[in-house]
Amino acid sequence: MFDFRRFLEDSFQTPVALLAFLNAYGVQPPTYGAINKWFTRETIPADWFAIIVALLEFDSGPVKLAQYLTLTKR
């Protein structure tokens, strides 16, 4: 499982900060309500996740995602 909530909080802290980040790059973001649901539901739509990771790389270099992954043995 991927811990989207922790990724969002570590990267942006709040939905407002993520909205501002997307706006700063000229990306037409979803509504505040939609972004807030990402934090609440602890998931991000795949297309938006890819955009966010790519923009984070532009902003501060490679994004380390392995720390948000929890592997379980079956």
> Is 73 part of any domain?
no
pLDDT at residue 6 in the model: 96
Residue 47: the pLDDT is 96
* Residue 56 belongs to a domain: yes
The pTM score is 0.89
Q: Does 74 reside within a domain?
A: no
Provide the pLDDT confidence category of residue 72 given band limits of 50, 70 and 90: confident
Task: Give a yes or no: residue 29 inside a domain.
Answer: yes
Structure confidence by residue, pLDDT tens digits, 12-35: 999 999 999 999 999 999 999 999
Range of the domain at 19: 4-68
Report pLDDT digits (tens) over 44-60.
999 999 999 999 999 99
The residue count for the chain = 74
For the residues of 8-47, what is the DSSP string, one character each? Answer: HHHHHSSHHHHHHHHHHTT-----HHHHHHHHHHT---HH
Domain count along the chain: 1
Q: Token pair 């900060």 is at which residue?
A: 17
Residue among 26, 70, 5 at smallest CA distance from 49: 5
